[in-house]
Amino acid sequence: MNCVVEIKMGELAVVNDQTDELKTFVGSCVAMCLFDIKTRIAAMAHVMLPKKIHSKQNTMNDEAGKFADVAFTCMINKMNEMGADKKRIRAKIAGGAAIFSHESENGLFNVGTRNIAAIKQILKENGIPLISEDVGENFGRWVIFNPHSGEMTIVSNLKKTQKTI
pTM: 0.88
Q: How would you class 7 by CB atoms within 10 Å of its CB: exposed for 0-12, middle for 13-18, buried for 19 or more?
A: buried
Structural contact between residues 60 and 71, judged by C-beta atoms closer than 8 angstroms:
no
Strand-strand pairing, 41-47 and 12-15: antiparallel
Please provide the CATH number assigned to the domain covering 4-164: 3.30.1330.200
Three-state DSSP class for residue 156: strand
Give the model confidence (pLDDT) of 44-92 as tens digits: 999 999 887 765 555 555 678 899 999 999 999 999 999 999 999 999 9
Tens digit of each residue's pLDDT (9 = 90 or more) over 10-52 = 999 999 878 889 999 999 999 999 999 899 999 999 999 988 7
pLDDT at 158: 73
Confidence at residue 30, expressed as pLDDT on a 0 to 100 scale:
97
Of the pLDDT bands very low, low, confident and very high (cuts 50, 70, 90), residue 147 is: very high
User: Per-domain residue ranges for the chain?
Assistant: 4-164
How many residues in total does the chain contain? 165
Q: Is 36 in contact with 17 (CB distance < 8 Å)?
A: no
Residue from 73, 33, 65 nearest 49 by CA: 65
